[in-house]
Structure 1
Amino acid sequence: MEATQPVKNQLKPSSTIWGRFWAEPWFAIATIVLVVAIILFIVAPVLAVLLKSFGIGTGQLTFDYYKDFFQAPYYWDALLNSVLSAIISTIIVLFLSINIALYVTRSKSFLSKSFQGISLLPLVAPPFIFSLSLIILFGRSGIVTDYISHLFGGEFSIYGFWGVVLAQIIGYFPIGYMLIESTMRNMNADLEYASQDLGANQWKTIGSITLPLAKSGIIKAGLLVFVMALADFSNPLIIGGGTRFLASEAYLLVVGQHNLELAAVLGVFLIIPSLLIFIFQTYFLKDSSVGTISGESGSYSVPLSKSVKFFVGTISTIFTAFILLMFIMVVLGAFVKIIGINNTFTLEHFNNETGWDSLYTSLFVSFVSAILAAGIGILQGFLFARKPIPGKKLLEFLTLFGLAVPGTVMGIGYVLIFNGPPFFLTGTVMILVLNMTFRKIGVGLEAAISKMHQIDISMEEASNDLGAGPYKTFWKVIVPLMVPPFAAGFIYALMTAMVSISSVVFLISPNTNLVAIYILNLAEQAKIGLASAMSFIMIVIVLACLGLLKFVEKKTGVRI
């Protein structure tokens, strides 16, 4: 008996975990269904791209497609351009975000509040909208281009590498700004006051105290912006002027040459940095904190000195004015015949049946996927926070990885899996809903887990003690308390689904076209008026969603 006792003790923890897992069978079944869905709609597409790059599925394992990549100078150019544009865009976005965050968090003027609102405006439009505005201003027949040509002679055009970089800076700026602004707003100002009391001027205080304290937020912002810029798909198509980039080249290989193998190779080069950065951010930065970053002391932010305020205020004014100009160009382009050439007011650009049909499809797909993403995220968050699920950390990692996978890679993966037996879903509304849903459930999951940590488990225990049971407790106690994170997750998913393009562009058909993709096609065809009109409508819808999201966050305290 003594010899066998240690063995029993070793087996007991494992059996206890699985026993507790199946103690509530309906929750266990729900967990298994979620696991299958995560594997099928998040993991499998990424694996399919990886396997396809090695020719698996064509009958043999081969490295020929990687050889084709390394032997083709234009693919090397695409890789170099993508990496270089991502680095430049990230550096400039961080510089702008730090300056504007300093001004917004350390000034209580009306101007600073205006800057805060304007800085978030690019969230309401897909990034390629700014390529459209840049073409209106600086294209071959742009308003500014014509003026410069008449004034100085010669030709000027925004098309090319630097046009893509400029569009990326504007489009991805809010991501960097939100993270850095949040970090600086929650920063304890005591050390900054102490630094100035010891005789350091504010420039030195910012360099030696403020920025080091904000390091975590700055690093996170830089990593996110870099990944998004690296995987940029639409801007190179519109304003790249023939300059090669990885994501756009992968798209052209799929739709133009139907070369899925080589497109998968390009996708692998997009996955690798995204995966490495996601792992680094998840395991090294997620729980990192600095003890002095806290709002508990009640200290007010250190007011800016005149020289610092002038510097950061000037940068903030110039850049936010430029953002406003981008939106103004889209609005003007929607309401005049040919902006810069024939500025007669017109509404004819809105009389576009195909555009309205694509808008209705986008609204339907976005609405359904937002409900599913928020609902699944809430259920998953409850299960992960309260139930003994084997491999919980891995499942959470895989769910959140759906947010990090470049859309181009996910789109190619869905084509590989759902465009043949046993699934024939490509070109249907269902595949669009599934794609958007499982790319967004990570947001609902994080909001739900955060909320569950605020709910005292004693409420559930009391309900169970009164005879309600686990399932009735879930519906009567948990679900009502999870309405705020559900609402926030739903609005965020709806807003981002409306402007999604890089993954669903591979999955549409003539009967399931989406408004963002329709606008992209119009912009590629230089139909500026029609593109601007549909962009204006979409911006109004998404702007309303953003306003509603901020209202929900303010009322409930749930932040996305």
Structure 2
Amino acid sequence: MKNNNKFKLDLWGGITLGILILYAIFLLYPLLNMFKDAVIGAAGLTMEHFAKFFSRPYYTNALKNSFVVSFAATFTSIAVGTPLAYIFTQYKIKGKKVMQMLIIIASMSAPFIGAYSWILLMGRSGVITNLLKPLGIILPDIYGFGGILLVFTLQLYPLVFLYVQGALSNVDNSLIEASENMGCTGFRRFFKIIIPLIMPTLLASSLLVFMRAFADFGTPMLIGEGWLTFPVLLFNEFISEVGGDSAFASALSIIAILITTIFFLGQRWLSNRKSFSMNSLHPIEEKEVHGFKSFWLHFYSYFVVGFAVMPQVYVIYTSFMNYKGMVRQPGYSLDQYKQIFSSSLGRSVWNTLFIPIVALIIIVLLAVLIAYIAVRRRNWLTGIVDTISMVPYIVPGTVIGIALITAFKRPITGGMLIMVIALVIRRLPYTIRSSVAILQQIPMSIEEAALSLGSNKAKTFFKITMPMMSAGIISGAILSWVTMISELSTAIILYSVKTQTLTVSIYTSVIRGQYGVAAALSTVLTVLTVISLLVFNKFSGGKSVQL
């Protein structure tokens, strides 16, 4: 591995410069342009937009609401996902493989679909609400903070589950046995032994959950009602100012970036302080459970997973109901699906396939090149590229959309090109990290042997290195694909009539009260997600998804 910190203008040096120029044009320039709009006015340098935000309770309350619901969602997701991962690792649970797939599907589906589902189930005219009302049972209001927290928890606990399950696979079973021999069992062992061992993983998963909840736009927009959150405020302010000055929206975007950056750096600092390595010579072995304990472990597992997937199941069921416009009629019908594929909505299905496919091709190419120069051709410039490539990980999707549309007003906005650029920027880090992980496991001596036998650098890379990286590349690409087809926060800013995707069509259908059409569109998106995850499972050899 080369690590001489010297930049050479050879083949890989030229590729490094080219990638850096692309990042400068499509990421750094839009973000810097947004910063300029926020701090420079007609009279020069100004802080009036920031002063406007911090001087009005309407704006600061939206930020406070986002903090409250994001911290609450982080806590509840950890409280639900961590015990479930421990149960799945420690004990034999019937139907575990099916439940694991359902958990992954729940984590990969668009969050706002969960909000829409719970409105159908427990809204003011929801099916559960109407069933319980004659019995005198009045359910808590699903709208506002409680509804947002419910949706976030059921959507985000799978991320904690996946992270923790991966960490528990590295815990040596001898530690569990030693604790049992010393009389530390049950809840005490869980909190005294397991939690400290997986603390770095809990910190990493808590950051991901917090940033997902903080940046989510669709869920609070649909189910929040009076509970205004920061992403909704940002969207509303930008939309109201598209025809004029967007400086205030840019100032809000800068505030969002600062917040997510602070939490990202804080999490990294805490993780570094508490990090340690574990070698699992004897992995945790699943145990048979019987009697009362078996009942409660199965009950908890089935209840959590069933409760999480229930909204999606009901949406699929709703898609076959007989709707005439906004009114439900008796019986069942395929009219919703006929309406999708016989109208302009069919374009949204095509766009959801075509735009991400184009973006995915670019993502795979760039990810492989960035991973290679970051691991094999290390120098100060490749270090900069590697660092910049992770910036979109901490920038909310709404902010990326606003930055692109303000930087490139014409000629590329409103078309497919801007959508492709946004998806590439947003989802490239997934495939980069996956490619880096697999490349670090490939010995450098293999490439050196090929070069010594007369192969040039380009041929060695494409004929030797890339095929050996294929497993990591495909896994990262599929995960990027799944997140792209469910993307809303960026798409809602950048789409036009010709580039409307499934997520945008679902959102607009719900807003218009076309629940039957929205359900059918959601079902199509769910089917695409399931197919993608099955493909991932095939290529990954049944390994768990790692985000």
TM-score range, shorter chain: over 0.9
* CA 59–380 in structure 1, closer or farther in 2 if over 3 Å, else same: farther
Q: Does 1:69 align with 2:74?
A: no
- The whole-number CA distance in structure 1 between the counterparts of 2:67 and 2:296 is 30
3-state DSSP of counterpart to 2:454: coil
One-letter code of the match for 2:150?
L
- Are the counterparts in 2 of residues 247 and 266 from structure 1 also a CA contact under 8 Å? no
For 1:459 and 1:153, the matched residues in 2 are separated by: 69
TM superposition score normalised by structure 1: 0.90
Q: CA deviation at 1:114?
A: 3.1
Whether the 8 Å CA contact 1:370–1:494 is kept in 2: the answer is: yes
- Are 1:145 and 2:135 an aligned pair? no
Give the residue type in structure 2 aligned to 1:84.
Answer: V
Q: Name 1:532's counterpart in structure 2.
A: 519
**Equivalences for 1:284-323 in 2 at 5 Å?**
285=271, 289-291=275-277, 293-298=278-283, 300=285, 311-323=296-308
Partners in 2 of 1:17 and 1:145 — Cα distance? 64
Alpha-carbon distance in 2 for matches of 1:45, 1:312: 50
Q: Report the equivalent of 1:359.
A: 349
Aligned-pair CA distance for 1:411: 1.0
1:445 to 432, 441, 447: 432
Query: Aligned partners of 1:279, 1:410: CA distance in 2, in Å?
Result: 20
* Unaligned ranges ≥5, structure 2: none
Question: Which residue in the other structure is 2:202 paired with?
Answer: 218
Tell whether 2:334 aligns with 1:335.
Answer: no
Cα pair distance change 1:485/1:51, threshold 3 Å: same
Q: CA deviation at 1:154?
A: 6.7
Does residue 387 (structure 1) correspond to residue 377 (structure 2)? The answer is yes
- Give the Cα separation in 2 of the matches to 1:167 and 1:209: 31
| 2:451 is the counterpart of 1:464 | yes
Question: Counterpart in 2 of 1:260?
Answer: 246
Given that 2:34 and 2:406 are in contact with CA atoms closer than 8 Å, whether structure 1 keeps it comes out as: yes
The 2-side partners of 1:556 and 1:213 are apart by 22
| TM-fit CA distance, 1:349 | 0.8
Aligned-partner Cα distance in 2 for 1:332–1:84: 34
Partner of 2:116: 132
Aligned equivalents of 1:129, 1:557: Cα separation in 2: 24
Q: Deviations over 1:283-337 (max 9, x none)?
A: 653796434x332235525667977655554332222111221111111110002
Contact 1:553/1:559 (<8 A) preserved: no
Query: Which residues in structure 2 correspond to 1:42-53 (within 5 Å)?
Result: 42-53=27-38
Aligned to 2:484: 497
- Partners in 1 of 2:369 and 2:524 — Cα distance? 33
How much has 1:160 moved relative to structure 2?
Answer: 1.7
**Number of the residue aligned with 2:65:** 81
Partner of 1:430: 417
The amino acid of 1:290's aligned partner reads F
Preserved contact between residue 495 and residue 542 of structure 1 (Cα < 8 Å): yes
* Correspondence for 1:372 among 362, 366, 383: 362
Q: Is contact 1:106-1:303 (8 Å) kept?
A: no
Amino acid in the other structure paired with 2:281? E
Q: Deviations over 1:411-443 (max 9, x none)?
A: 1111121115xxx31101011111101211112
Counterpart of 1:521 in structure 2 is 508
Q: Which residue of 1 aligns with 2:44?
A: 60
Q: Which stretch shifts more, 45-54 or 515-524?
A: 45-54
C-alpha contact (below 8 Å) 2:105/2:529 kept by paired residues: no
Instruction: Tell me, in whole angstroms, the C-alpha distance in 2 between the residues paired with 1:44 and 1:58.
Output: 21
Residue-by-residue CA offset, 1:479-508 (whole Å, 9 max, x unaligned):
222222222222122111100111122111
Q: Cα deviations across residues 263-296 of structure 1 (Å, max 9, x unaligned)?
A: 22222232122112323445653796434x3322
Separation of aligned partners in 1, 2:542 and 2:149: 37
In structure 1, what is the Cα distance between the partners aligned to 2:483 and 2:248?
Answer: 29
| 287 and 504 in structure 1: CA distance in 2 versus 1, 3 angstrom threshold | farther
Q: Spell out, residue by residue over 1:197-216, the C-alpha distance to the aligned partner (whole angstroms, 9 max, x if none).
A: 01223221111101110111
After TM superposition, give the deviation of residue 17 of structure 1 in Å. Answer: 4.7
Conserved? CA contact 1:374–1:490, under 8 Å: yes
Q: CA deviation at 1:162?
A: 1.4
CA distance in 1, matches of 2:308, 2:158: 11
Cα distance in 2, alignment partners of residues 367 and 58 from structure 1: 42
Which string of whole-angstrom CA distances, capped at 9 and with x for unpartnered residues, describes residues 502-560 of structure 1?
11221111111111111111111221110000110111011100111121111799966
Q: Contact between 1:145 and 1:156, CA under 8 Å: does it hold in 2?
A: no
SS at match of 2:322: strand
In structure 1, distance between residues paired with 2:287 and 2:8: 52
Q: Secondary structure at the match of 2:509?
A: helix
* Structure 1, 550-559 or 57-66: larger mean CA deviation: 550-559
Q: Distance in 1 between matches of 2:544 and 2:234?
A: 41
Deviation at 1:123, TM superposition (A): 3.1
Cα distance 1:96–1:358, how it changes in 2: closer, same or farther (>3 A)? same
The C-alpha deviation readout for 1:394-427, integer Å capped at 9, x for no partner, is 321221121221111111111121115xxx3110
CA distance in structure 2 between the aligned counterparts of 1:265 and 1:397, rounded to whole angstroms: 24
Runs of 5+ unmatched residues, structure 1:
1-13
The DSSP-based 3-state class of the residue aligned with 1:241 is coil
**Quick one: structure 1 residues 132 and 51, their matched pair in 2 at CA, closer, same or farther if it must change by over 3 Å?**
same
Q: Aligned partners of 1:324 and 1:557: how far apart in 2?
A: 19
SS at match of 2:331: strand
Contact in 1 for aligned 2:93/2:298 (Cα 8 Å): no
Give the counterpart letter for 2:257 in structure 1. I
Alpha-carbon separation, structure 1, partners of 2:327 and 2:135: 16
- Can you list the C-alpha shifts for 1:44-75, whole angstroms capped at 9, x where unaligned? 33333333222x26552211111211222211
Q: 1:313 to 1:167 in 2, by over 3 A?
A: same
The equivalent of 1:167 in structure 2 is 151
Q: How many residues align?
A: 539
Q: RMSD over aligned Cα, in angstroms?
A: 2.6
8 Å contact kept, 1:104–1:112: yes
Letter of the structure 2 residue corresponding to residue 381 of structure 1: A
Q: Look up the equivalent residue of 2:13 and give its one-letter code.
A: A
Identity %: 23
The TM-score with structure 2 as length reference comes to 0.92
Q: Give the structure 1 partner of residue 398 of structure 2.
A: 408
The residue number in structure 2 matching 1:349 is: 336
Measure, in 2, the Cα distance between the counterparts of 1:428 and 1:29.
Answer: 30
Q: What SS class does the counterpart of residue 337 from structure 1 fall into?
A: strand
Distance 1:173 1:163, change over 3 A: same
Asked if the contact 2:352–2:502 (Cα under 8 Å) also holds between the matched residues in 1, the reply is yes
* 1:79-126 Cα shifts (integer Å, max 9, x gaps): 111111101111110000011111111122323333322211223421
Aligned to 1:279: 265
Name 1:196's counterpart in structure 2.
180
Contact map agreement 2:88 2:96 (CA 8 A) in 1: yes
Distance 1:533 1:471 in 2: 47
The answer to whether the Cα contact below 8 Å between 1:233 and 1:248 also exists between their aligned partners in 2 is yes
